[in-house]
Amino acid sequence: MHLYSSLALPLLLSAPNAHAWGVVGHATIATIANHYLTEAGKTYVSSKLGAGVTMASVASWADNYRYTTVGRFSAPYHFIDAEDTPPSSCSVNLARDCGPTGCVVSAITNYTQRVQDSHLSVENTKEAMEFLIHFIGDITQPLHDEAEAVGGNDISVTWDGTPTNLHACWDTQMVEKAAGGSNSTATLTAFSNKLIAMIDTGSYSSQKAGWISCDNVATASQCALSWAQDANALNCQYVLKANETGMELDGSYYTGALPYIDLQIAKGGYRLGAWINALAAAA
Ligand SMILES: *[C@@H]1O[C@H](CO)[C@@H](O)[C@H](O)[C@H]1NC(C)=O
Ligand SMILES: *[C@@H]1O[C@H](CO)[C@@H](O)[C@H](O)[C@H]1NC(C)=O
Ligand SMILES: *[C@@H]1O[C@H](CO)[C@@H](O)[C@H](O)[C@H]1NC(C)=O
């Protein structure tokens, strides 16, 4: 979704958390990832973030940073504008869709390299880790891999009677409903435990190996592109399948979306954990 090409910018500046998996989505992804860290992975995270700093606590940092003057360059890194034609045809093509200012695929590639770069300062290494924790979350949100209607930002809908847009509902309202609340330790624990159980012994146990089939940190661009393609396909399967304009989403649309919300957040968390374990193993 293009943010800076739109008149909505001043509004966005006053609502910095409105346009990415919201805080609950990112913190849940980080909490799930943390659960799957190897001992080496845990050591790796604390060596980058600092002792005692949890991944959940920094998972939304990049959403605040993008709205600062110094962080403004990173705004395009939160998404890739797939110029496909959903719902009839979905696709992501790096040459076509990752613009000259970068995208979530190039950002994951860049920060995977930077977090391993021993010449960087402690501060820049920490920042690279924080970006990775955030972007490996963003890339699993289907509308972060879509140019149509500015990633759904231009599709006006209502949520429980309140006017909003499709993108915001996928980032925040539907996730908070799925999680059972807004950001708190209790909500994150309950939601992440539910998804961890599905990964370990539930309906995701047979799928999870596929989620991390690309796990080579030396081929980050290829892996991140496959993750973008995987999430983008859901725009044709469900997210943009109906004409959502004017729809009340807190009803049958939400009920149909819930399996995809659970799936994408579980997947993002499991992948992020595996990616960090792979970084630790390569160190
Ligand atoms: C969300 O909640 C977690 C757990 O309480 C906390 O670590 C994190 O800082 C919170 N995030 C924000 C942006 O408030
Ligand atoms: C990589 O990250 C650094 C630090 O944020 C940034 O200055 C640089 O432009 C990025 N490069 C690419 C290709 O995204
Ligand atoms: C979608 O629905 C809206 C509101 O009902 C209508 O104005 C619009 O023409 C529809 N768009 C398409 C492509 O069918």
60 falls within a domain: yes
* 165 CA from centroid of ligand 3 (Å): 15
- Residues with Cβ within 8 Å of residue 207, at least 6 apart in sequence: none
Structural domains counted in the chain: 1
- Nearest ligand to the C-alpha of residue 87? 3
Q: Using most ligand atoms within 8 A of CB, pick from 23, 54, 55, 192 the residue to mutate for ligand 1.
A: 23
Q: Are 152 and 239 in contact (CB under 8 A)?
A: yes
> Tell me: the pLDDT tens digits for 45-61?
999 999 999 999 999 99
Q: List the CATH number of the domain containing 90.
A: 1.10.575.10
Q: Among residues 189, 210, 186, 211, which one has the least CA distance to residue 32?
A: 189
Q: Is the CB of 242 under 6 A from ligand 3?
A: no
136 falls within a domain: yes
54 falls within a domain: yes
pLDDT of residue 233 exceeding 90: yes
Give the max Cα distance, the chain.
52
275 falls within a domain: yes
1 falls within a domain: no
> Tell me: the pLDDT tens digits for 84-106?
999 999 999 999 999 999 999 99
Tell if the pTM clears 0.85, that is, is over it: yes
Q: Are 130 and 60 in contact (CB under 8 A)?
A: no
127 falls within a domain: yes
For residue 21, the model assigns a pLDDT of: 87
> Tell me: the pLDDT tens digits for 17-53?
345 689 999 999 999 999 999 999 999 999 999 999 9
Q: Are 71 and 65 in contact (CB under 8 A)?
A: yes
44 falls within a domain: yes
- Nearest ligand to the C-alpha of residue 242? 3
Q: Which domain holds residue 182?
A: 6-282
Q: Using most ligand atoms within 8 A of CB, pick from 110, 121, 221 the residue to mutate for ligand 2.
A: 110
Token pair 């399948």 in the structure block, residue: 241
